Amino acid sequence: MKIALFTDSFLPQINGVSAVLGQMINYFNQNNIDYMVFAPEYKGYCKDEDNIQRLSSFRFVFYPESRFALPNYSTIKKQLDIYKPDVIHIMTPFSMGICGLIYAMEHPIPVVATYNTNYAEQIKSYKIPIADSVIWQYLRWFYSRCKTVCCPSSASKAQLDKHGINNALVFPNGVDIQQFNPVYRDDNWRSKMGVNGKMALLYVGRMSKDKNLSVLIDTMNILNSRGYEQNIRLIMVGDGPIKDKLARHAPENVCFTGYMRTPQLSIAYASSDIFIFPSYIETFGNVALEAMSAGLPVIGAKGSGCMDIIQNGFTGMLCNHWSPVAFADAVETMIKNEQLMQSMAQNARAAAIQYDWDNIMSRYMYLYSIADSLQKELLWKKQTQKLYRLARRSYIKGRRFMERFHFMI
């Protein structure tokens, strides 16, 4: 089977879409599955990528770390004509995704799409002047032309159902349980971060308005006012357009590390004590699952995709996203009850193992094969119907001809 994947976001950019696609590619490589990726080019990023086609792009004005692709469809079409994919998988429904969709419609090929980002809320947080109704009208148009839309959580599927997108299935993202593992806990790292003898709180992810990170700063201020200033430290891993603003308003027991990649990221997860994640627009929450895999209890936001993976009181705690007091209360509960925190940590690791990428990708491969089979069956039916219509027209014409010359059967 040949799979063509289209994405508007890919390495070296660090976000949920690129992380998921990176894991999918690892699985394809390990299992000798034929694939081709169409993605934006990133200035200064040079790497040998035999299966990856990079298309011209420019910086996205509302989020400079992102790229907006300007693909040449005729070039993509020539490459796909040679490659001859069996299935097209669209990771993002924008300029790259549209190219994949157009090709699939021109050459009846089944399309599987992934809904990994809450676009309506994200665009709203950037104050881009586009109405929700316009965004959802476009998404309905796009996803209605796909065989299946894969949603990573029940919350994201409910959101699509609410807006009239009825071909969605829940396909959770996975986690590399070897890469994110408690065995990477490192006392030297804790010493370097200044958390020896303290409770290390951790956030990993983009630092942008849609992540609700002001709640984290307010949470730390509340905990400090309760007398925990010398007992806790928040480590914020990542970067983004509001990082400097957050740093200006953060108390002294908050530190910013910038982006991390493995193995440093694996060490950061395993060497912390609690993962705290206030974003409420997540369709899933990859970083929350990574933290659980590393053996951390997670304090997350109610109403987000994280609710599928965080079991309140068992693998972590869920709080109202708008309430720093609720987040502070959750942290304080764990500080005061270390036994509860350790129990949650063990439960989190056990729960995360179920999301091993091999298990998740086996479901995708089954979906690809079903989509391909259904498409071939549909084509066969259409061809059969076409031949039947041609044969019927020929019979009618022949009978009329014979009637005209009085050769009645």
Tell me: the pLDDT tens digits for 81-126? 999 999 999 999 999 999 999 999 998 899 999 999 998 887 776 6
pLDDT band at 394 (very low <50, low <70, confident <90, very high): low
Domains, the chain, in order of start with CATH, read 2-171 (3.40.50.2000), 183-355 (3.40.50.2000)
Under the banding of pLDDT at 50, 70 and 90, the label for residue 391 is low
Counting residues of the chain whose pLDDT is more than 90, the rounded percentage is: 72
> Stretch 196-209: mean pLDDT, rounded?
95
Confidence of residue 44 (pLDDT cuts 50, 70, 90): low
Residue 63 has pLDDT above 60, yes or no: no
Say if residue 139's pLDDT is above 70: yes
What's the average model confidence in pLDDT over 25-50?
86
Measured between alpha carbons, how far is 312 from 279 in angstroms, rounded to an integer?
A: 16
Through-space distance between the first and last CA atoms of the chain, rounded to whole angstroms: 51
The whole-model pTM stands at: 0.86
**What was the pLDDT predicted at 408?**
47
Q: Return all residues near 374 (Cβ < 8 A) that are at least 6 apart.
A: 110, 147
The model's pLDDT over 314-363, given as tens digits with 9 standing for 90+, comes to 999 999 999 999 999 999 999 999 999 999 999 999 999 999 999 999 99
